[in-house]
Structure 1
């Protein structure tokens, strides 16, 4: 799941690090500049039918990214109908009266562009990267399938078979994906984040055309969508086009986005998968954590800084201690993605160096977590991490697709444009005390889930 802003920042990491290392560059001066409000400097307006439109002007090349985000994903599905959000994503390419099945992508490609779509637990998004003078074409086609999708049994059921095969190849034949699926189901025993986005196999096979049409009619409305266009376009140029193609689609009454809450769980849990196909064993551990939207104690931004301290490059705590000094791991990480509608998680993990037993690696990882919980981080570590993060943010706008992804994901998960634009200011305000409080509150929990991916014992190195 995108944490949209982190995706945009990652795209800019290499450039940011080059600037930080350049002669004459003052990290403090750059941080002070980046900490001012503003990342992508978008403009926005709302159509009369309630559809929000966001424009990020970037005139460097005559190209645009056009994205439509629907505020509905796998976690909004009814129990027993897992995979319907992802299923409809596939079916959106099956055509309308104006654009027959399969023609959408062919037309985009014929006009020199590329297109795709993706589903998460919290949203579904469709995008095209095209030349500036082809923008109106893709807007017309995307608006057409928002309102006029036509599904037939002949189109629906073969596509369902395609998804069954996709699941078999990408999940059931891949040990890392299989343990990931079981790991999530153990971390979220009640909340729908524990259900795979692609769906459980027996439920995918039971999906019908009527279910897909019901999902489409329930969630695919302009007042439940966000249009984001990034690139060589201004808000004044886009406004009449948005009104012409999207503004004429009637708004519809939307259901409330109700979801069950994860019950309190006090026991640590373990998921172990041993498989002949495992070439690289690994360990992962996750703790429940607040997202931006659910954060009531002010931990979200502090957890981002903590993640940077623990695994932000070759000087981070985990890499330095586990890979360089102890040589028990070839890689180690601690990640946190705050862009979700409900509570999210902090995940730490590592892969062992050759000949290192998994129990030794687990102990070493646990020790690093224990140290940060009990001893905390220093003000110097926080200052260094913030400089890196702010430098990345300053370069995030250089990407064409990154800003559209960041803003779309943020709005679809309950944030505002102002939240995104204030990110540098809020990160810059994080203190060591706040990072330490967040570490204790999240990593100090004893209800974590540990996952071990292992080869058979006779194949362990």
Structure 2
């Protein structure tokens, strides 16, 4: 399963949920999830989040490697390996582990993003040892044949055909990403380019596996009806004997300066409504002018993060220029992020008129900023929007894992509420001026081939 970072809708939502929950009660991370962290001698980092309200446990193993770490010419390799990890090992035949998890009433899945790959199971607490045994085994004992490679490569190619090549909206998004980033590997689709997927072979797969799939390059998150001491004992038993792997550096090509605005125009027979979007290059927690990351989260909420936002209120409700309008932003990338805006014009409105109306709202923020009440309400909306994050079976593990794999430390995460609360109106203007630069943007227009 692919997740197109930074648009990890579920993870982004639950991350907001967690932070909103912290802020709503004015307490720290330790008082919300009360995480316990320890590291095995082989370098495996383990975080335990105890919640005894339901007899269920999420076991989630994250690797510090994603599609942005694919070798040049081998796009899609990280995602391909995710698929192949469900093949056989020295201990379990192909498909046997999945059957065991199903037989004990558990579920499993995996996902690849630009920055990480994760595998998870949801099981009853008494079966935690079973999934630890399975996951620890395939960390270093994966066995693949040429037949495995060929058959699963066909599966991935069919996935690309069905989800991307036969979907004009998906193809349009690929073109936007390739235009947004000039060199940085976020410009390459997670699933990979078709002509490169077709050439992926067992040599490339095993080299990638041996390089990245090691305990010192992984984080294990256990959340649910468990105790930290029991988890530590089990983790030592199943993961502790795995040898530490070589230290690997994540080397990524940086973008050169963006000096010209870009436009991507495409027509499609699959849609009936014109779609307009613009993406601005933006910092993340770890990349660029990261001091703006907290203000940008609130700027996004005020500009287009909800039906109470400026874009929706002005363009959809009041002026009726658009049938939809909004924005998005994610700070949790290892690399650069984007602040994106989208809208679709009502019948009779031109793209030029729609674009002008959106630029007007941006100019108002740049010149006049946001009001005190807008900023206060934005913070309250973030609290209200996701208050039930802790009640989710998988959200705690996803939230903590996503943030750790995006470069944050467990002890750092708790400061989010305070940093959001400290954002001022001037911070919003400063962040807007840093990001809203046309020479660092891509505008996309996807329109019907035969408009009605």
TM-score, length of structure 2 as denominator length: 0.94
In 1: Cα distance, 2:263 partner to 2:318 partner: 28
The equivalent residue for 1:259 is 252
SS of 2:154's equivalent in the other structure is helix
Q: Structure 2: any 5+ residue segments left out of the alignment?
A: none
Cα displacement (A) at 1:11:
6.3
Judged with a 3 Å threshold, the aligned counterparts in structure 2 of structure 1 residues 246 and 198 are, in CA distance, closer, same or farther, namely same
Cα displacement (A) at 1:31:
5.5
The equivalent residue for 1:320 is 313
In 2: Cα distance, 1:37 partner to 1:412 partner: 17
The equivalent residue for 2:410 is 417
Cα displacement (A) at 1:435:
1.2
SS of 2:440's equivalent in the other structure is coil
In 2: Cα distance, 1:159 partner to 1:31 partner: 45
In 2: Cα distance, 1:312 partner to 1:287 partner: 16
- For the pair 1:460 / 2:451, whether they are aligned, the reply is yes
- For the pair 1:129 / 2:122, whether they are aligned, the reply is yes
The equivalent residue for 1:200 is 193
The equivalent residue for 2:296 is 303
Q: Which has the higher contact order (CA 8 A, sep 6+)?
A: 1
Task: Please tell me whether the aligned partners of residues 90 and 143 of structure 2 are also in contact (alpha carbons under 8 angstroms).
Answer: yes
Cα displacement (A) at 1:422:
1.7
Judged with a 3 Å threshold, the aligned counterparts in structure 2 of structure 1 residues 419 and 392 are, in CA distance, closer, same or farther, namely farther
Task: Please tell me whether the aligned partners of residues 272 and 451 of structure 2 are also in contact (alpha carbons under 8 angstroms).
Answer: no
- For the pair 1:439 / 2:439, whether they are aligned, the reply is no
Cα displacement (A) at 1:428:
1.1
In 2: Cα distance, 1:292 partner to 1:69 partner: 19
Cα displacement (A) at 1:410:
1.1
The equivalent residue for 1:22 is none
- For the pair 1:75 / 2:68, whether they are aligned, the reply is yes
The equivalent residue for 2:77 is 84
Task: Please tell me whether the aligned partners of residues 4 and 407 of structure 1 are also in contact (alpha carbons under 8 angstroms).
Answer: no
SS of 1:299's equivalent in the other structure is helix
Judged with a 3 Å threshold, the aligned counterparts in structure 2 of structure 1 residues 47 and 332 are, in CA distance, closer, same or farther, namely same
In 2: Cα distance, 1:338 partner to 1:31 partner: 18
Task: Please tell me whether the aligned partners of residues 34 and 394 of structure 1 are also in contact (alpha carbons under 8 angstroms).
Answer: no
Cα displacement (A) at 1:160:
0.4
* Aligned match for 1:7, one of 9, 13, 34: 13
Output one character per residue of 1:9-28: Cα deviation in whole Å (capped at 9) or x when no partner: 56689x98xxxxxxxxxxxx
SS of 2:110's equivalent in the other structure is strand
Judged with a 3 Å threshold, the aligned counterparts in structure 2 of structure 1 residues 344 and 32 are, in CA distance, closer, same or farther, namely closer
- For the pair 1:107 / 2:100, whether they are aligned, the reply is yes
Q: Structure 1: any 5+ residue segments left out of the alignment?
A: 17-29
In 1: Cα distance, 2:24 partner to 2:122 partner: 34
SS of 2:291's equivalent in the other structure is coil
Spell out the pairing of 1:6-45 with structure 2 (5 A cutoff). 6-9=12-15, 33-34=25-26, 36=28, 38=30, 39-45=32-38
Task: Please tell me whether the aligned partners of residues 15 and 399 of structure 2 are also in contact (alpha carbons under 8 angstroms).
Answer: no
Cα displacement (A) at 1:5:
6.0
In 1: Cα distance, 2:290 partner to 2:70 partner: 29
* Aligned match for 1:178, one of 147, 150, 171: 171
SS of 2:43's equivalent in the other structure is coil
In 2: Cα distance, 1:419 partner to 1:289 partner: 21
102-111 vs 201-210, greater mean Cα deviation: 102-111
Cα displacement (A) at 1:185:
0.3
The equivalent residue for 2:145 is 152
Judged with a 3 Å threshold, the aligned counterparts in structure 2 of structure 1 residues 325 and 200 are, in CA distance, closer, same or farther, namely same
The equivalent residue for 1:27 is none
The equivalent residue for 2:46 is 53
Judged with a 3 Å threshold, the aligned counterparts in structure 2 of structure 1 residues 76 and 251 are, in CA distance, closer, same or farther, namely same
Spell out the pairing of 1:389-408 with structure 2 (5 A cutoff). 389-392=382-385, 394-408=387-401
In 2: Cα distance, 1:140 partner to 1:192 partner: 34
Output one character per residue of 1:32-55: Cα deviation in whole Å (capped at 9) or x when no partner: 633655543311100110110011
Output one character per residue of 1:323-364: Cα deviation in whole Å (capped at 9) or x when no partner: 101112222111111111111111111122344333322222
TM-score, length of structure 1 as denominator length: 0.92
The equivalent residue for 2:161 is 168
Cα displacement (A) at 1:391:
4.1
Cα displacement (A) at 1:109:
1.6
Judged with a 3 Å threshold, the aligned counterparts in structure 2 of structure 1 residues 42 and 280 are, in CA distance, closer, same or farther, namely farther
- For the pair 1:360 / 2:353, whether they are aligned, the reply is yes
Cα displacement (A) at 1:159:
0.6
The equivalent residue for 1:26 is none
The equivalent residue for 1:98 is 91
Task: Please tell me whether the aligned partners of residues 4 and 410 of structure 1 are also in contact (alpha carbons under 8 angstroms).
Answer: no
* Aligned match for 2:322, one of 324, 329, 333: 329
In 1: Cα distance, 2:360 partner to 2:27 partner: 34
The equivalent residue for 2:133 is 140
Task: Please tell me whether the aligned partners of residues 5 and 407 of structure 1 are also in contact (alpha carbons under 8 angstroms).
Answer: no
In 1: Cα distance, 2:304 partner to 2:187 partner: 25
What root-mean-square deviation, in Å, do the aligned CA atoms of Structure 1 and Structure 2 show?
Answer: 2.0
